[in-house]
Structure 1
Amino acid sequence: MTSHREIRADHDRTSIVVYQAYPDAIAEVALERQRFGPPFSLNRMTWIKPSFLWLMERSNWGLKSGQERILAVRIRREGWEAALALGVLTAFEPAAHGTPERWSRAFEEAAVHIQWDPERSLRGQALAHDSIQVGLGRTVIGRYVDEWILSIEDLSERVRKIRKLLDAGRADQATRLLPRESVYPVPTGLMRRLGM
């Protein structure tokens, strides 16, 4: 493990914001209902990410096909931590899993997948610490949709503004529009499971 792992997020005492990018059809329903509904699928893994800039890198600032709408989904902290507690890392790590066989079995059966990737700067460069993304499997998505979500906000317009400022070389102004993220206090009991 070469880089430092931490969860940075917009969070408060009871909630945490995760980001997702979707096409218009899914985003419109989610915003109107304040929860996901068809054409959103409960039958395939959905990935949630607490890092805004990581999602900007992934969605190319909302320019990728099918990822044009950037949603900030505020969920209950107990839901977030329940997902982490069910998570299995997407790659074998001796400290977290013991043996490759144990990891392989756990990964096959896991309701939640945990992946670490280099965090990104405003300009998309990889940083020295890793950012988490959490894949919610079919057995957990229903809880995410029905129990954990507190609100869904459309950040697409803000993303376009930030992108325009960046293109114009006004990084300072762009930075001021970023969501505020700080280190999330991961319960000690979860740290080894998450490879932290």
Structure 2
Amino acid sequence: MPSTGLETVLFNRVAFGINGGFVAMGAHGYKNGPLLPNDGVSTFYAMQGVYGPDGKNYAIWSFDFSYNTRGCSTCQVFLEIDKDPGAGVDYVRLFDLTTLPQYGASGQDAWNMEMTFITAGIYDFNPFGASSTAIRLVGVNGNERATSEITVNVPEPGSMALLGLGLINMGAAARRRRQR
């Protein structure tokens, strides 16, 4: 089976529907880049900048979604994004994924904040600025609602360096404890 590139992504998966359906969100480095530091559930940490080698100048991180309605004909799955990551949470609905022909009742993909269909008239993402971007996948069936949400934090460069040093020190301390 060919790789989708999503095998190693940490997903925040939430049950949806009665037949084992689900909605799930995750994040990773663009172009199947390195895993992003995370809290193990829904908060990811990325660096500022764009990926230059492919010429698209997309942000160096992407978000991932996966869902399956398990044949529920009345279910809908909406992808929503915080349109102003600098000032509180203000979600805008991007798509009802179940109405898109490439997905329908189930689907998975990885998208980048700099893709034209996301930025055109909806959201002006700045890959070089500090941000806290919330993205969610919402499954709806009548009154039932399941939400998988992630936040990707892009701190100022100095903060990222401190986070990296902190993670290195935590790893070294754990290694010393194991050696005793």
The TM-score normalised by the length of structure 1 is 0.24
Q: Counting helix residues as a fraction of each chain, which structure ranks higher?
A: 1
Q: Considering fraction of residues, name the structure with more strand.
A: 2
- Structure having greater relative contact order (Cα 8 Å, sep ≥ 6): 1
